[in-house]
């Protein structure tokens, strides 16, 4: 009887592992903090906090641009990041954007200078003209 109980438990109790698909291949846990989409450029923006987010101290964000084919975005793009606090009507120190590889950028000197609601603007430019942008809002 005990043996039957144990066998029953093994049969019913063990569900499929959430980390294995049908082929038994390991799937990664979703690490993307936020996914944003630039419609005209057909670019997805994936963001990862390298440091922070902090108030007053420097935060850093790794930004990966993904094209419609699912790979990192390889086309030339004039891409900028801007901080704005809509409730206070002001921004912050200019963000430094460094291109690490095709479609991969590191945003540093990201300074949230007070607690509250901030918008991080991801902007695409055509020359000097703003072509499109998308915002990521966060409360600090």
| Contact residues: another protein, CB under 8 A | 56-58, 88-94, 109, 111, 113-114
Nearer to another protein, 58 or 133 (CB): 58
CB of 109 to another protein, least distance (A): 7
CB of 95 to another protein, least distance (A): 11
Nearer to another protein, 27 or 87 (CB): 87
Nearer to another protein, 9 or 56 (CB): 56
In 3-state terms the chain splits into helix, strand, coil percentages (rounded to 5) of 10, 50, 40
Q: Which residues of 92-122 are buried (b: 16+ CB within 10 A; e: fewer)?
A: beebebeeeeebebebbebbbeeeeebbbbb
What is the DSSP-derived secondary structure letter of residue 25? P
């Amino acid at each position: 009887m005990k043996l039957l109980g144990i066998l029953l438990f093994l049969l019913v109790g063990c569900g499929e592992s959430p980390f294995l698909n049908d082929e038994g291949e390991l799937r990664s846990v979703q690490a993307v903090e936020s996914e944003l989409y630039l419609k005209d450029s057909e670019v997805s923006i994936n963001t990862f906090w390298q440091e922070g987010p902090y108030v007053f101290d420097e935060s850093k964000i790794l930004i990966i641009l993904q094209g419609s084919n699912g790979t990192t975005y390889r086309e030339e793009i004039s891409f900028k990041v801007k901080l704005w606090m809509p409730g206070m009507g002001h921004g912050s120190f200019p963000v430094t954007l460094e291109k690490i590889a095709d479609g991969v950028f590191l945003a540093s000197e990201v300074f949230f200078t007070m607690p509250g609601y901030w918008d991080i603007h991801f902007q695409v430019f055509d020359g000097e003209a703003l072509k499109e942008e998308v915002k990521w809002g966060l409360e600090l």
